[in-house]
Amino acid sequence: MTGHSGDIKKTAADEYTFIRVTAAHYPLLTELYADAFGSRLTVEDIRRRYDTLALGGEHVAFMALHTASHTPAAYYGVFPHQVFREKERILVAQSGDTMTHSAHRKKGLFVILARLTYAECEKKGIRYIYGFPNDNSLPGFLKHLQWKETDHVTRYDLKLKWKTFPLSRLSRKSSLLRKWQLSLAKNLFRKYRSAPADCFHNPLKNGYYRVYRDRAYLQYKETPDKLFIRVEGVSFWIRLTDVIWIGEIDNYNGVTERIIRKLKRVAFWSGYNTIVLNLNESIPLPESLNGFRPAGKDVSCFYLPGQQEPIPLLITGADFDTW
């Protein structure tokens, strides 16, 4: 830690205790999730999200506890996993779940926890840390943690010309309606459903590193709203949220207008007006997907522990920690 960070830590140390997060602290994290995001995650939800050991390394995170009350004040962590290029595989981590309790903000806790986390990452041989900070977090990453912006990730939307009743969007307001709508969509996709793959890597061979998506990774990402489908010989990994979110395609150039029409038809009858995919800003969208239009982008940043070199990393929807 350099500069004035020592003064910040000394001041915070009078009020807070900083600990490495283990499974024993998951009950405390449920309180932070509820306050910071309004999320009602269970301990099992958190355990499943943080269990990255099979991906190449255990979850690395630190928490600030309010010393007097022993209540959780803030949290920061990263999700280790592997990326590969040709025959080379390296350990990296994605930044995620920056949380500060509303009663403990503006105390410099985020910066302290992040630096503790990065130091631990360096010890564990994690060569590259990347993430997609939101507007609230981005200034802190750039100003206080020396992150650098890199190849942003573009969101592309395919809008239905003939609009359907927006059931998928409205269902987010009711858990019962959401359960029914998800069941409807999965039933309509039934004839395209395919068995989970043993691996599902990005097929765009362009010199970038890609996330190593072996069976362990696919199981880690498995949730009830994700499906593997196969339409006329092309496989898709999709997630059914308020949109049909394409996480990955096994053959981008194999996508035809006929395939797109079939996806649109299922979208219409299951209450979706938008199909979404994501890809690096620097990579031209394959011509087969020219019906998708840019609809925004996620700011992509990276941090290098130690004396590592930056790497070009290919990102699609299936690689976000929120996927």
Which tokens hold the place of 183? 């069941």
Q: Please compute the mean of the pLDDT values over residues 298-310 and round it to a whole number.
A: 88
DSSP 313: B
Residue 6: what pLDDT?
40
Residue 14 pLDDT greater than 90, yes or no: no
Beta carbons within 10 angstroms of residue 13's beta carbon: 12
Residue 197: what pLDDT?
87
Residue 2 pLDDT greater than 60, yes or no: no
Residue 4: what pLDDT?
36
Rounded Cα distance, 255 and 138, in Å: 35
Residue 9: what pLDDT?
47
Rounded Cα distance, 230 and 192, in Å: 5
pLDDT in tens, 213-253: 999 999 999 999 999 999 999 999 999 999 999 999 999 99
Do residues 204 and 314 touch, judged by C-beta distance below 8 A? yes
Do residues 153 and 97 touch, judged by C-beta distance below 8 A? no
Residue 1: what pLDDT?
33
Rounded Cα distance, 133 and 98, in Å: 9
Beta carbons within 10 angstroms of residue 1's beta carbon: 12
H or E stretch at 98: strand 88-100
pLDDT in tens, 143-202: 999 899 999 999 999 999 999 999 999 998 898 999 999 999 999 999 999 998 899 999
Confidence band (pLDDT; 50, 70, 90) for 72?
A: very high
Do residues 146 and 107 touch, judged by C-beta distance below 8 A? no
DSSP notation for 237-281: EEEESSSEEEEEES-GGG--HHHHHHHHHHHHHTT--EEEEEEET
Residue 5 pLDDT greater than 70, yes or no: no
Residue 223: what pLDDT?
95
Rounded Cα distance, 54 and 219, in Å: 10
Q: Please compute the mean of the pLDDT values over residues 284-290 and round it to a whole number.
A: 93
pLDDT higher at 134 or 115: 115
Outline where the chain has alpha helix (H): 5-13, 26-37, 43-50, 109-123, 138-144, 167-170, 175-188, 215-220, 257-269
Which tokens hold the place of 7? 């003064």
Report how far apart, in Å, the C-alpha atoms of 50 and of each of 114, 181, 237 are: 17, 28, 22
Strands 71-85 and 244-249 come out as unpaired
Residue 135: what pLDDT?
84
Confidence band (pLDDT; 50, 70, 90) for 132?
A: very high
Do residues 23 and 85 touch, judged by C-beta distance below 8 A? no
Q: Which position has the token pair 């994605």? A: 94
